[in-house]
Structure 1
Amino acid sequence: MPTRPSHHHAGPLAAPLPDEPATLLGNLTPTQFMRRYWQKKPLLIRQAIPDLTAPVSRDELFELADDEDVESRLITHFRKSWAMEHGPFAPDELPSVKKRDWTLLVQGVNLHDDRARALLNRFRFLPDARVDDLMISYATDGGGVGAHFDSYDVFLLQVHGKRRWRIGAQRDLTLKEGLPLKVLQHFEADEEWLLEPGDMLYLPPHIAHEGVAEGECMTCSIGFRAPSESELSSQFLYHLAERMDDGSEPGSKGAARYRDPAQPPVSHPAQLPPMLVERVGSILANVQWNEKDVSSFLGTYLSEPKSNVVFAPPRRPLDESGFIERAKQIGVKLDRKTVLLYDKRFYFMNGEQILMPTKARKWLTELADKRYLEAKRFVTLSDETSMTALLHEWYCAGWIQVDASA
């Protein structure tokens, strides 16, 4: 679907600086917001983004919901009965916009539209590694998803129409049984507000909330990743195991095989041998890791694209020299689906770990933090052949773009 280019320059669409009062945060600085509210308590911000229009229109959102590469859900509450379906949805599969009590949720709109990506960029006072996506909820009058709680932080930004929010810091998080979505059994609201376009509500994890559309409305939800301890542990151990030798080199790390030369004969063959348990326990006790291993895991894991993300290479890619000349004129920018993270040793691009020469690090750091490199910066970079070759490779893969809008 056609998109308007995003704007990355400093100004109203840029993320506020840590100690710069921001309209987005109710004239708090990001430092004040993080210290007082982040993961602590809710905050209502009237006119966080004045004169805001929805990043996509209703028809464009419906078009996205018809795309098999886009995650979408339809939630209805007809005759007081909850139902949920997963997309894609053909236009005639959605209820009439004149019918009450239904909601369309479209995940990851920032992956498919530059305007949504630009809106998400405003929240880059928070680490990219923690950001999940920008979801858009379209609802007809009375539409909502029921009283619920999330296990992650969320900014609820009203972009069209009005939605009434009720929230409560209740301890009883029991869910109603037999429903296709998580709805609280006993919701008790402490506060209530009507949000209009430009208004925003921040909620930390586990604050119960219910949003109901008053007339047709659209809400952007900026959500954040909060992996469970078990997910992080299992993925990290898998990451370690992948990097151990496959056993082809005798004597190398991970290559040794299990041995039990002292195993006696058994009369109970189905019993787990105590010697096996003890020996494997000692092997696992010797598994070690350090801060470098943890950082490497997090960089690759948190930059890995979701399974439904597909990059679009340029239809007629420029050769390397043509790419360099074009970039010298208009610069380069990260594709809206690309995640580029870094630590003090490595860069992590869409799940891959990259070691760069020291001279090239400042350029790649700037590209990661700004999501673009200006043309004048690329002119001085063009002498670094290893860097330009890598950037051209990413360009051919659709990970970065040469684009005048950068």
Structure 2
Amino acid sequence: MDMLGGLTASEFLREYWQKKPLVIRQAFPGFQCPVSPDELAGLACEEAVESRIIIEDDAGKPWQLHNGPFTPERFSELPEQDWTLLVQGLDHWVPDISELLEQFRFIPNWRLDDIMASYAPKGGSVGPHYDMYDVFLLQAQGHRRWTFGGQCDHTSPRVDGTPLRILSSWEGEETVTLEPGDMLYLPPGIGHYGIAEDDCITLSVGFRAPTIDDLLTGYTDYLCNQDGAAEHLDDPDLEVQDNPGTITSEVIDRLDRVIREQINDRRKLALWFGQFTTAPKSLDIVVPADEPATPEDFAEAIQAGEQLRWNEGSRFAYHELDNETALFVDGEQYLLKGDARPFAPLLCAGAHINMAELSEFSDDEALLGLLTTLYNQGSVYFE
């Protein structure tokens, strides 16, 4: 793939993914940023958009964080340099930014987080730090000098007096300057420090991995809402004990069986994980359609050749079960059987749905109903 510097997707995953950094010169040749600094500032003033400003020296305090939304006047109060504006989930709000994600579909949909924009005037930075997720840093405008290298974790020394995770005694192993179209891949835990050499915008394509805590709490919460969770632990074979304070091994064995019966259900685990990983990050963008459609409307639009695509903030995934396919869209599950099963991979292959293949399902009333549901809840729309 040209985007990976001539590496195939398999070579990149095998040699670099979660292993070591990679600098890719002109991953996107001639790249022009779809958004301007003023447009990013405008987005940062919106209530629904997650934004932050980081100032390196804020009245003598190091690396201070300010959360949006901001007023337009806030930007006129900022110093000339040494600050950064971060706009999270830019792909949710700017379709041209969302299109970039189609270049990264060699990584599963459920791993994707979002695209964050970082604007900074000369000297702007968020400080030397590390993240616990994979990220591709695409230089979109201007130039940024990156120093990176060395594995970091929670034991790495940090700067005091800042809410940010700024490394205090870190030295990188390599320094490069990226220009528009260049890209840097960083695995989790790698220290990095990017400084703007002029007015610059960097787009961070981030990929998430849930923590063990996320998995345990999320799945057990899901199990607690399943049928049978309200049943009480029984002990019809209870016997008199020598000491009433003893918790016998038989009790622990019973608990072990009850818990294993719940957590060893792969079907439940798959259905929960699909819903968990496709839950939309922003509830402000996956909103119901202004004018609800009917299945008949949908059939007409498909026959007319209109292009259907995902909402920029929606998430799609699927899982093959024994006799059915589970489709997951924005935290909801839909079980497909028989001839309808290929419908799920078709919808999940990319943001722009293959309309020629979709038309083959247009005579199926149930699938038209499902498409209509997805449209009316805001998960898909016609371009």
TM-score (norm. length: structure 1): 0.84
Of 41, 56, 66, which residue of structure 2 is paired with 1:77?
Answer: 56
Q: Which residue of 1 aligns with 2:35?
A: 56
Contact 1:70–1:308 (8 Å) recurs in 2: no
Q: Aligned-pair distance for 1:163?
A: 0.4
Please list, as runs of the form range in 1=range in 2, the aligned pairs for 1:4-83 lying within 5 A after superposition. Answer: 22-78=1-57, 81-83=62-64
Q: Aligned-pair distance for 1:376?
A: 3.1
Task: Give distance in 2, aligned partners of 1:378 and 1:47.
Answer: 35
Q: Aligned-pair distance for 1:261?
A: 9.6
Q: Which residue of 2 aligns with 1:316?
A: 291
Is 1:136 matched with 2:117?
A: yes
Task: Give distance in 2, aligned partners of 1:354 and 1:61.
Answer: 37
Q: Which residue of 1 aligns with 2:340?
A: 360
Of 122, 138, 142, which residue of structure 1 is paired with 2:103?
Answer: 122
Residues 110-133 of structure 1, C-alpha deviations (whole Å, 9 max, x = no match): 111111110122111111111111
Q: Name the SS of the counterpart of 1:365 in structure 2.
A: helix
Q: Aligned-pair distance for 1:262?
A: 6.1
Q: Aligned-pair distance for 1:322?
A: 1.8
Contact 1:100–1:141 (8 Å) recurs in 2: yes
Task: Give distance in 1, aligned partners of 2:149 and 2:34.
Answer: 29
Task: Give distance in 1, aligned partners of 2:269 and 2:71.
Answer: 44
Task: Give distance in 1, aligned partners of 2:337 and 2:27.
Answer: 42
Q: Name the SS of the counterpart of 1:311 in structure 2.
A: coil
Q: Which residue of 2 aligns with 1:328?
A: 303
Residues 284-319 of structure 1, C-alpha deviations (whole Å, 9 max, x = no match): 442231332322221111011125444233322333
Inter-CA distance 98–182: structure 2 relative to 1 (3 Å threshold): closer
Q: Name the SS of the counterpart of 1:27 in structure 2.
A: coil
Q: Which residue of 2 aligns with 1:163?
A: 144
Q: Which residue of 1 aligns with 2:372?
A: 392
Inter-CA distance 363–130: structure 2 relative to 1 (3 Å threshold): same
Inter-CA distance 378–128: structure 2 relative to 1 (3 Å threshold): closer
Contact 1:341–1:368 (8 Å) recurs in 2: yes
Residues 324-376 of structure 1, C-alpha deviations (whole Å, 9 max, x = no match): 10122214222111111111121111111210132122123111113333443
The one-letter code of the counterpart of 1:84 is L
Q: Which residue of 2 aligns with 1:197?
A: 180
Q: Aligned-pair distance for 1:140?
A: 1.1
The one-letter code of the counterpart of 2:290 is R
The one-letter code of the counterpart of 1:286 is V
Task: Give distance in 1, aligned partners of 2:220 and 2:168.
Answer: 37
Is 1:104 matched with 2:81?
A: no
Deviates more, 1:199-208 or 1:354-363: 354-363
Is 1:236 matched with 2:219?
A: yes
Deviates more, 1:41-50 or 1:323-332: 323-332
Q: Which residue of 2 aligns with 1:250?
A: none
Inter-CA distance 292–46: structure 2 relative to 1 (3 Å threshold): same
Q: Name the SS of the counterpart of 1:296 in structure 2.
A: helix
Q: Which residue of 1 aligns with 2:314?
A: 338
Is 1:185 matched with 2:168?
A: yes
What's the RMSD between the two structures over aligned residues?
2.4
Task: Give distance in 2, aligned partners of 1:154 and 1:214.
Answer: 21
Q: Name the SS of the counterpart of 1:94 in structure 2.
A: helix
Residues 213-237 of structure 1, C-alpha deviations (whole Å, 9 max, x = no match): 0111000011111221122122122
Inter-CA distance 91–106: structure 2 relative to 1 (3 Å threshold): same
Contact 2:346–2:358 (8 Å) recurs in 1: no
Contact 2:26–2:183 (8 Å) recurs in 1: yes
TM-score (norm. length: structure 2): 0.89
Inter-CA distance 163–290: structure 2 relative to 1 (3 Å threshold): same
Task: Give distance in 2, aligned partners of 1:131 and 1:155.
Answer: 11
The aligned length equals 370
Identity among equivalent positions (%) equals 36
Please list, as runs of the form range in 1=range in 2, the aligned pairs for 1:260-339 lying within 5 A after superposition. Answer: 274-275=246-247, 279=251, 282-287=254-259, 288=261, 289-306=264-281, 308-329=283-304, 330-339=306-315
Q: Name the SS of the counterpart of 1:197 in structure 2.
A: coil
The one-letter code of the counterpart of 2:35 is V
Question: Unmatched 5+ residue regions in structure 1?
Answer: 1-21, 248-254
Contact 2:92–2:285 (8 Å) recurs in 1: no
The one-letter code of the counterpart of 1:146 is G
Q: Name the SS of the counterpart of 2:197 in structure 1.
A: strand
The one-letter code of the counterpart of 1:397 is Q
Task: Give distance in 2, aligned partners of 1:363 and 1:325.
Answer: 19
Residues 177-225 of structure 1, C-alpha deviations (whole Å, 9 max, x = no match): 2312110021112110111100101111111110000111000011111
Question: Unmatched 5+ residue regions in structure 2?
Answer: none
Task: Give distance in 2, aligned partners of 1:140 and 1:132.
Answer: 26
Task: Give distance in 2, aligned partners of 1:94 and 1:185.
Answer: 28
Q: Which residue of 2 aligns with 1:14?
A: none
Task: Give distance in 1, aligned partners of 2:116 and 2:64.
Answer: 20
Task: Give distance in 2, aligned partners of 1:380 and 1:362.
Answer: 11
Task: Give distance in 1, aligned partners of 2:81 and 2:16.
Answer: 35
